[in-house]
Amino acid sequence: MPNAPLITADDQPASRFVFGTMQFGGRADAAASQALFEASRAAGITHFDTAHVYTDGASETLLGRFAAPERDRLFIATKAGYKGGAARDNILRTFDESRTRLGMDSVDLLYLHRWDGDTPLEETFETLAGLQDRGLVRHVGVSNYAAWQVMKAQAVARSFGTGIDVIQPMYNLVKRQAEVEILPMAATEGIAVQPYSPLGGGLLSGKYAAGGSGRLTEDDRYAARYAPDWMHEAAAGLVRLAGETGHDPATLAVAWVAAHPAVTGPIVGARSVAQLDPSLAAMGLTLDADLKARLDALAPAPAPATDRLEEA
């Protein structure tokens, strides 16, 4: 169980699945973004994730507009520190900008977007604890941290009377490094896990095998992240398995992430409702042991942290 339950402002549990708004105001214009928000709400999602850096602020602005009529029923997360580091001044300045864009006095969860090795952790977490003391942030999280970084930061956070409640790692069928240390750490330490990129930038949706385009063809970072041939072979295997079982590849991919016992709930996203629907379908799919094993076999599991392969 997480250290503190993730609940909405009206004391209801936040949805297990999370909708990520990285496309709002970018690949999804305002109308498409609103349709995605409404489709997520219709599916029962109450947890929405954004960041100060997403689409130059348009993501936060649009999410704030859509969420305003029912703010108390929603769980809103944003992130700071992707640009400019995790120093006090940068966190406070960008978080004020985020709250202005969102039109919200407070957020339910504030993540540090990535590790900052140049700023003392004491400065960072004293700042976050201060935001909590002022009632501006309910939970603290970290994204893109290694397990050792989480534990080092957690020790410092505790010294200021706060703690890391949630982590946000990358995790999907072809990006399984989190299984080595991050997920076991979260399970033993009682930290909630909200993984991003369950579809691997769209690779696991099957669209690239069918000649489609998207982040892997338009963004050099994603192209490099998913360049290895074996990842594309795994994606092709997923498409074949989806055909055999009658599920969409994206549904299987998201359900696989959700099935890990340490995962609190995956973050799903899309640039259109048609793209989103198969991910939402995973909310109603529980993998049986045989199907889970067949999905596991599509991509190699990472070596144990000790690299003693005989113990894998």
Active-site choice (54, 82, 196, 208): 54
| Three-state SS at 81 | coil
Mean pLDDT of the chain: 96
pLDDT in tens, 172-209: 999 999 999 999 999 999 999 999 999 999 999 998 87
Q: CB count, 10 Å around CB of 66?
A: 21
| Three-state SS at 113 | coil
Confidence band, pLDDT 50/70/90 cuts, at residue 3: very low
Where is average pLDDT lowest: 105-109, 152-156, 219-223, 239-243?
Answer: 219-223
Confidence band, pLDDT 50/70/90 cuts, at residue 213: confident
User: What is the rounded CA–CA span in Å between residue 177 and residue 274?
Assistant: 30
Give how far Cα 61 sits from Cα of 57, 97, 111, 227, Å: 6, 10, 18, 33
54 a catalytic residue: yes
Kindly state the average pLDDT of the residues 53-63: 98
**pLDDT above 60 (res 126):** yes
Confidence band, pLDDT 50/70/90 cuts, at residue 214: confident
Tell me what pLDDT residue 2 has: 42
Where is average pLDDT lowest: 2-6, 50-54, 168-172, 281-285?
Answer: 2-6
**pLDDT above 90 (res 1):** no
Contact between 278 and 250 (Cβ < 8 Å): yes
Residue 17 backbone phi and psi in degrees, to 5:
-80, 150
pLDDT in tens, 231-251: 999 999 999 999 999 999 999
**Pick from 21, 92, 101: which is nearest to 61 by CA?**
101
User: What is the rounded CA–CA span in Å between residue 121 and residue 11?
Assistant: 31
Tell me what pLDDT residue 110 has: 98
Tell me what pLDDT residue 4 has: 56
Amino acid residing at 108:
D
Contact between 145 and 113 (Cβ < 8 Å): no
User: What is the rounded CA–CA span in Å between residue 52 and residue 72?
Assistant: 21
Helix segments in 83-146, DSSP class H: 88-102, 121-133
Contact between 239 and 264 (Cβ < 8 Å): no
User: What is the rounded CA–CA span in Å between residue 189 and residue 5?
Assistant: 14
Kindly state the average pLDDT of the residues 145-149: 98
Whole-number percent of the chain with pLDDT over 70: 98
Q: Which helix (H) or strand (E) holds 47?
A: strand 47-49
The two three-digit tokens of residue 35, written as one number: 């349709």
**pLDDT above 80 (res 80):** yes
User: What is the rounded CA–CA span in Å between residue 23 and residue 89?
Assistant: 28
Contact between 201 and 222 (Cβ < 8 Å): yes
**pLDDT above 80 (res 210):** no
Q: How many CA atoms does the CB half-sphere of 129 hold within 13 Å?
A: 16
State the pairing for strand pair 137-143/164-168. Answer: parallel
Kindly state the average pLDDT of the residues 202-226: 88
Kindly state the average pLDDT of the residues 272-276: 97
pLDDT in tens, 275-304: 999 999 999 999 999 999 999 999 999 999
Q: What one-character-per-residue DSSP string does 258-289 give? A: HHSTT-S--EE--SSHHHHHHHHHGGG----H
Angle between helices 30-42 and 273-281 (to 10 degrees): 20
Kindly state the average pLDDT of the residues 8-28: 96
Q: CB count, 10 Å around CB of 174?
A: 21
Contact between 68 and 60 (Cβ < 8 Å): no
**pLDDT above 70 (res 39):** yes
